[in-house]
Amino acid sequence: MTDFFDQICKVLAETEAKRPGSVSASPEVSQFFSEAVKSPDSLAKLQESLQGCCRCNLHCQRKNIVFGEGNPQARLMFIGEAPGFDEDRMGRPFVGKAGQLLDKMITAMQFSREEVYIANIVKCRPPDNRAPAPEEAECCMPVLKQQIGFIRPEVIVLLGAVAVKYLLNTTSGISKMRGRWTSYENIPVMPTFHPAFLLRQESAKRDAWADLQQVMARFGKFHRR
């Protein structure tokens, strides 16, 4: 049934694209169909649609948009804060020092980097590695939400306070949120410390590992000594 009506909507949307206003006299319905043809229908098209994005001021100083990378059908997704210097240079998420630690965390979880998907709250580097401003995060969140919608991972791991704040829309700090299951759009979410924080605070690695082991258990993976 859904497919049948999806097809009807697709035809209507295409008709509306060719002849705007032809589908319905109602401006709301008309707008719905013109939006529908504009919204990308795959992760790749979403990425394409971001080329040259200048929705917020972060575009002024960026070298590259860091869309995210990994398996579009990943069962496990990691979400960080924002690209840093190395990520901006390379156009890839988590490739600097924090990224090297994230790679080790992923391996310790018995996953490979290629198997998972890695994205950030904002896709462009905030100058001087500051946290993204609320208006920058708000500009970029629809992109992340669409990424999650396309991937539909079984579990999301949120890396650090900024990811928690904007995806879960909460002011609760990471120390309170970490290690406790929560959810986003019915997807189980595990908040944990950001790898950059773990590089500064070695002693927090034990807690982060406990959080990640809860995620592993969801996938039937267990750490045996």
Residues at the contact surface with ligand URA, assessed by CB under 6 A = 80-84, 87, 93-94, 98-99, 120, 196
Q: Taking the complex as a whole, how short is the minimal distance between the CB of residue 100 and ligand URA, in angstroms?
A: 11
Q: Taking the complex as a whole, how short is the minimal distance between the CB of residue 105 and ligand URA, in angstroms?
A: 13
Residues 6+ apart with CB under 8 A from 22: 15, 16
Integer CA distances (angstroms), 52 to 60, 144, 181, in order: 11, 17, 37
Rank residues 23 and 157 by Cβ distance to ligand URA and give the closer one: 157
Rank residues 39 and 107 by Cβ distance to ligand URA and give the closer one: 107
Instruction: Give dist(CA 31, CA 82) in Å, integer.
Output: 33
Percentages (nearest 5) of helix, strand, coil residues in the chain: 50, 10, 40
Q: Taking the complex as a whole, how short is the minimal distance between the CB of residue 59 and ligand URA, in angstroms?
A: 17
Q: Taking the complex as a whole, how short is the minimal distance between the CB of residue 87 and ligand URA, in angstroms?
A: 4
Point out which residues pair with 118 in neighbouring strands: 69, 78
Rank residues 83 and 191 by Cβ distance to ligand URA and give the closer one: 83
Q: Residue number with the shortest CB distance to ligand URA?
A: 80
* Positive or negative torsion for Cα 45, 51, 55, 59: positive
Rank residues 98 and 174 by Cβ distance to ligand URA and give the closer one: 98
DSSP tag of 64 = S
Write out the E strands in the chain: 69-70, 76-80, 117-120, 155-159, 182-184, 187-192
Rank residues 16 and 125 by Cβ distance to ligand URA and give the closer one: 125
Q: Taking the complex as a whole, how short is the minimal distance between the CB of residue 121 and ligand URA, in angstroms?
A: 8
Q: Taking the complex as a whole, how short is the minimal distance between the CB of residue 68 and ligand URA, in angstroms?
A: 9
Instruction: Give dist(CA 27, CA 33) in Å, integer.
Output: 10
Point out which residues pair with 187 in neighbouring strands: 184
Rank residues 13 and 162 by Cβ distance to ligand URA and give the closer one: 162
